[in-house]
Amino acid sequence: MKDCYVTEGGQGYFECRVKDARTKVTWYLGNWKEVEIKPEGKYDVISRGKRRSLIVNNCSSDDVQAVHCVASYNGCTSTADLVVGNMEPVHFVRAPVNVFLTKGQTAIFDCLLSKPNPIVSWSKNDITINESDDVRYEFITQGCGRSLIINDVTPDDVAMYEISGLGGKYTVNLVVDGGTVV
């Protein structure tokens, strides 16, 4: 699938191709496929031969997000972004890097985005994390910069951490006291 760029009020169109004309697909919205799209109202789902299409009608800035097409027989996924109006896709100017620490130190994962307002989320081993999950977590937003701070690290913090949003994603590792990533 290709990213779709539309004007406010326009129609977004996504297409994926399957190997067999009988293959069913499911369409989802969100970075982690959290919302299944039903063919009603704002959304039209079309199946013709080996083509599967999704049409997003009357697009607005609220519709800017990742769109996923998932094949039912093997779970293969194709993903693209819906970009509305002049909302140029965000990209990483500086990516976060792996961090190697000893117990009790502070881990800081920093990155710089091309725009100041994108919504991003952080995850630990593919599970979204929030400040309320652990008092040691801090999430900092300063202009185009985004940071995840983990205070007083322990071997339990050894993991893969990921920052993701409309502009893509980066995965980095935290290693504590020579521990290995799980």
**Beta bridge pairs of residue 99:** 174
First to last CA, the chain: 32
The mean pLDDT of the chain is 88
Entry pTM? 0.58
pLDDT in tens, 75-95: 788 888 888 887 766 778 899
The tally of domains found in the chain comes to 2
pLDDT (0 to 100) of residue 31? 62
Compare 169 and 27 and report the one with higher pLDDT: 27
Question: What domain range is 61 assigned to?
Answer: 4-84
Query: Do 118 and 157 belong to one domain?
Result: yes
pLDDT in tens, 31-78: 666 689 999 999 999 999 999 999 999 998 778 777 888 888 777 888
**Beta bridge pairs of residue 14:** 54
Query: Do 59 and 101 belong to one domain?
Result: no
* Helices of type H across 15-173: none
pLDDT in tens, 13-38: 999 999 989 999 999 887 666 689 99
Return the structure tokens found at 86. Answer: 């002049």
Give the CATH number for residue 148. 2.60.40.10
